[in-house]
Amino acid sequence: MYQGFWPHEFHDERLGISLGHFNQSNLLLTCTYILPMSSEQNSGLFAPIEPYRHGLLPEEDGHAVYFEECGNPEGIPVIFLHGGPGSGCSPRHRQFFDPQKCRAILFDQRGCGRSTFENPLFMNETAYLIHDMERLRKLLNIEKWLVVGGSWGGGLALAYACQHPEVFSGAILRNTFLCRHSDLQWFFHDTKQLMPDAWNKLVEHVPVNFRSDICRYVCEKVLGSDKQSALSLALAWSDWESALMQRTSVSLTAKPLGEQDTDALIKKYRIQSHYLRHLCFFPVDGILPCLNNLKHIGIDLLQGRLDWICRPESSWDIHQQIAGSRLHWVDHAGHGLFEVPMVNSMMSTINARLMALQTK
């Protein structure tokens, strides 16, 4: 759900910035990234790499979806699904994939990152994201690919597998978000017991008579027409999420945001709100009952034991539902993708899956 809630387009010294523009043919001309990365964040990753191909899918429904290919054009196809909803891919995501072995495909979901749009929420549902992935797979002439995703990207991968299991050569899912009522209750209410001071800063923006359903109130305000109210709630939401991510009290709002950053923040959380208020457009009974027929897909589940955003129980429930799935508990790791224990687990799991696919 929340991996990727750290929007790479923001001008924040901790998050970095992403700039680019498109020509009339919708091909990316320039893209400059300034991403502060400590040696700890770099631990275990492959060296930075540039795409050998990038562009936009033909426009549908007012959306033109950005994609890029990295690594070896003759390598094993891998698609990376970013988190959010409402986030986007960053250059660091490329570094999980061996450039000699992988043909890595990354794309920004509708309304996100470098994808272009007329209205970011129009025709923006899980089914349309799956449709875009299939359009991309066919455009790139790929029969099967290894699907890698985390948080919301993990939930999206499961929904994709339920619709198109035949196109999976395997899946690696990290800290998966299932968007059940209990998951939203956990994030907006129950985690108060972990960080009551940070939670109190969130609910300062929620009237007392609306605190029985914080998610509903926040989503409605962020989606509303009052830009200042939307910004206030988006900033509070961002701080709360970051506190849970880092398991310490933090604030992204210590510095004033420029107009560009303000618009990007509101847009991201409007997409998030759009999905959450519809439970990510999953079936009425949730995604778990749909997973029984996925046992033939080799699925690895990675779960940080200290994840305060996507509960470890979620990966356990998926594991119980999919016969033959492998659950890897990652000690000393929370929700963040770039925490060193999680980086190490991701790298070793991806490498093991690639070796297995190479021997087939």
Give the catalytic positions in this structure: 151, 307, 335
Pair of tokens at residue 44: 């275990």
Distance of CA 107 to the CA centre of its chain: 11
Helix 126-139 with 152-163: angle, nearest 10 deg: 70
93-343-173 Cα angle (round to 5): 70
Phi, psi dihedrals of residue 51, rounded to the nearest 5°: -65, 145
Q: What is the CA radius of gyration of the chain?
A: 19
Contact 272, 151 (CB under 8 A): no
Helix 259-276 to helix 214-223 angle (10° resolution) is 130
The CA–CA distances, whole Å, from 252 to 14, 77, 168, 172, 261 equal 9, 36, 38, 30, 12
Parallel/antiparallel/unpaired status of strands 145-150 and 76-81:
parallel
Strand order in the sheet with 102-107: 53-56, 66-71, 102-107, 76-81, 145-150, 168-174, 299-304, 326-330
Q: How far apart are CA 312 and CA 302, in angstroms?
A: 9
Contact residues for 271 (Cβ-Cβ < 8 A; gap 6+): 84, 85, 86, 111, 112, 120, 121, 124
